[in-house]
Chains A and B, each alone.
Chain A
Amino acid sequence: MKKSFSLLAALLTSVALVASACGSNNNAEPPAGTGSEGTDKPAETTAPSEEPAPKEVTLSLRHTQIKETSKTRLKILEDVVAKTEQENEGLTFKLEGIDEIVNRDQKLKAEMAAGNPPDIFEVFGGADLKLYVKAGRMLDLTPIIEELGIKDKFASLSEFTIDGKVYGLPFGGYSEAIFYNKKAFGELGLSIPTTWDQLLDVAEKAKAAGYTPFGLAAKDAWVNGMLWNSVLERYVGMDAINKVVTGETKWTDENFVKGFAAYADLVNKEYFTKGSLGLAYADQGAQLLSGKAAMVFTGSWDANRFTSDEAGDLKGQIGYFAFPSIPGGAGDQTSINASYSNGFGFSANLNEDQIAAVKTFIANFFNEEIQKRTLIEDKLLPSMKLSDLSGVDPLISEVLTVMASASSSWPAFDSITQPAVTAEIGVGLQELIGKVSTPDKVAAKIQAAQEKANAAQ
Chain B
Amino acid sequence: MSRLRRGQWWLHVLLIGYVAATLFPLIWLFMSSFKSNREITANTWALPTRFSFENYAAAWESANIGKYALNSAYVTVVACVLTLLFAAMTSFAISRMKYGRSNKAIYPFILLGLIVPPGALFIPLYRLIQGIELFGQPLYDTHWSLILVYCTYALPITVFILYAFMLSIPGELEEAGIIDGLGASGLFFRIVVPISLPALVTVFILNFIGNWNEYILSQLFITSESLKTLPTGMATFNDGYRTNFASLSAAVIISIVPVLAVYVFLQRQIIEGMTAGSVKG
Bound Cα distance from A298 to B220, whole angstroms? 31
Q: How far is the CB of B54 from chain A (nearest CB, A)?
A: 13
Provide the residues of chain B in CB contact with A387, threshold 8 Å: none
One of B132, B141, B220, B235 near A67 (C-beta < 8 A):
B235
Are B138's CB and A20's CB within 8 A? no
Q: How far is the CB of B250 from chain A (nearest CB, A)?
A: 12
One of B86, B89, B123, B238 near A110 (C-beta < 8 A):
B123
Bound Cα distance from A280 to B62, whole angstroms? 24
Provide the residues of chain A in CB contact with B141, threshold 8 Å: 31-32
One of B85, B131, B232, B243 near A25 (C-beta < 8 A):
B131
Known: A96-B223, A99-B235. A17 touches B134 (CB 8 A): yes
Q: B264 in the interface, Cβ–Cβ < 8 Å?
A: no
Q: A407 in the interface, Cβ–Cβ < 8 Å?
A: no
Binds A, one of B37-45, B197-205, B266-274: B37-45
Provide the residues of chain A in CB contact with B123, threshold 8 Å: 106, 109-110, 113
Known: A3-B189, A107-B126, A110-B126. A67 touches B131 (CB 8 A): no
The interface bits of chain B over 212-251 (1 if a CB of A lies within 8 angstroms of the residue's CB, else 0) are 0001100110011100000010011111111110010000
Q: A390 in the interface, Cβ–Cβ < 8 Å?
A: no
The interface bits of chain B over 33-63 (1 if a CB of A lies within 8 angstroms of the residue's CB, else 0) are 0000110011000000000000000000011
Q: B185 in the interface, Cβ–Cβ < 8 Å?
A: yes
Are A4's CB and B185's CB within 8 A? yes
Bound Cα distance from A305 to B41, whole angstroms? 14
Provide the residues of chain A in CB contact with B71, threshold 8 Å: none
Q: A228 in the interface, Cβ–Cβ < 8 Å?
A: no
Binds B, one of A68-76, A233-241, A368-376: A68-76
Q: How far is the CB of B124 from chain A (nearest CB, A)?
A: 8
Provide the residues of chain A in CB contact with B85, threshold 8 Å: 10
Bound Cα distance from A262 to B144, whole angstroms? 56
Bound Cα distance from A413 to B219, whole angstroms? 30
Provide the residues of chain B in CB contact with A97, threshold 8 Å: 225
Q: What's the dominant secondary structure at chain A's contact region?
A: helix
Q: A289 in the interface, Cβ–Cβ < 8 Å?
A: yes
- Our count of residue pairs bridging A and B at CB distance below 8 angstroms stands at 118
Q: B133 in the interface, Cβ–Cβ < 8 Å?
A: yes
- The A8-60 residues at the B interface (CB cut-off 8 A) are 10, 16-17, 20-21, 23-25, 27-29, 31-33
Are B242's CB and A69's CB within 8 A? yes
Q: How far is the CB of B65 from chain A (nearest CB, A)?
A: 12
Q: Which residue of B lies closest to A118 (CB)?
A: B223
Q: B135 in the interface, Cβ–Cβ < 8 Å?
A: yes
Are A290's CB and B42's CB within 8 A? yes
Are A106's CB and B122's CB within 8 A? yes
Provide the residues of chain A in CB contact with B104, threshold 8 Å: none
Bound Cα distance from A384 to B227, whole angstroms? 36
Provide the residues of chain B in CB contact with A99, threshold 8 Å: 215, 219, 232, 235
Q: Which residue of B lies closest to A94 (CB)?
A: B223
Known: A110-B127, A290-B41, A310-B37. A31 touches B138 (CB 8 A): yes
One of A68, A71, A98, A114 near B223 (C-beta < 8 A):
A98
Known: A3-B185, A68-B237, A102-B216. A305 touches B242 (CB 8 A): yes
Provide the residues of chain B in CB contact with A10, threshold 8 Å: 85-86, 89
Are B225's CB and A23's CB within 8 A? no
Provide the residues of chain B in CB contact with A419, threshold 8 Å: none
Are A66's CB and B62's CB within 8 A? no
Known: A66-B235, A106-B122. A31 touches B130 (CB 8 A): yes
Provide the residues of chain B in CB contact with A302, threshold 8 Å: 241
- The A248-285 residues at the B interface (CB cut-off 8 A) are 280-282, 285
Provide the residues of chain A in CB contact with B185, threshold 8 Å: 3-4, 7
Q: B140 in the interface, Cβ–Cβ < 8 Å?
A: yes
Are A106's CB and B133's CB within 8 A? no
Q: A312 in the interface, Cβ–Cβ < 8 Å?
A: yes
The interface bits of chain A over 82-106 (1 if a CB of B lies within 8 angstroms of the residue's CB, else 0) are 0000000000000111110011001
Are A282's CB and B126's CB within 8 A? no
Q: Which residue of B lies closest to A289 (CB)?
A: B41
Q: A416 in the interface, Cβ–Cβ < 8 Å?
A: no
Provide the residues of chain A in CB contact with B131, threshold 8 Å: 24-25, 27-29, 31
Q: Which residue of A lies closest to B58 (CB)?
A: A68
Are A32's CB and B135's CB within 8 A? no
Q: How far is the CB of B150 from chain A (nearest CB, A)?
A: 15
Q: A321 in the interface, Cβ–Cβ < 8 Å?
A: no
Bound Cα distance from A32 to B141, whole angstroms? 9
Q: A301 in the interface, Cβ–Cβ < 8 Å?
A: yes
Provide the residues of chain B in CB contact with A102, threshold 8 Å: 216, 219-220
Are B134's CB and A20's CB within 8 A? yes
Bound Cα distance from A113 to B124, whole angstroms? 11
Bound Cα distance from A309 to B128, whole angstroms? 46
Provide the residues of chain A in CB contact with B133, threshold 8 Å: 20, 23-24, 29
Q: How far is the CB of A307 from chain B (nearest CB, A)?
A: 13
Are B42's CB and A68's CB within 8 A? no
Q: How far is the CB of B6 from chain A (nearest CB, A)?
A: 46
Are A98's CB and B130's CB within 8 A? no
Bound Cα distance from A301 to B239, whole angstroms? 13
Are A66's CB and B86's CB within 8 A? no
The interface bits of chain B over 95-139 (1 if a CB of A lies within 8 angstroms of the residue's CB, else 0) are 000000000000000000000000000110011101111111010
Bound Cα distance from A194 to B74, whole angstroms? 60
Are A66's CB and B41's CB within 8 A? no
Provide the residues of chain B in CB contact with A71, threshold 8 Å: 62
Q: How far is the CB of B233 from chain A (nearest CB, A)?
A: 10
Bound Cα distance from A286 to B37, whole angstroms? 10
Enumerate 5 A-B pairs (CB-CB under 8 Å) in ascending A order.
A4-B185, A20-B136, A68-B244, A282-B243, A310-B41
Question: What 6 pairs across the A-B complex have the smallest Cβ distances?
Answer: A67-B239, A102-B219, A96-B223, A282-B243, A20-B133, A24-B131
- Interface contacts beyond A10-B86, A67-B237: sample of 5 additional A-B pairs, CB < 8 Å, sorted by A: A17-B134, A31-B140, A102-B216, A103-B219, A282-B241
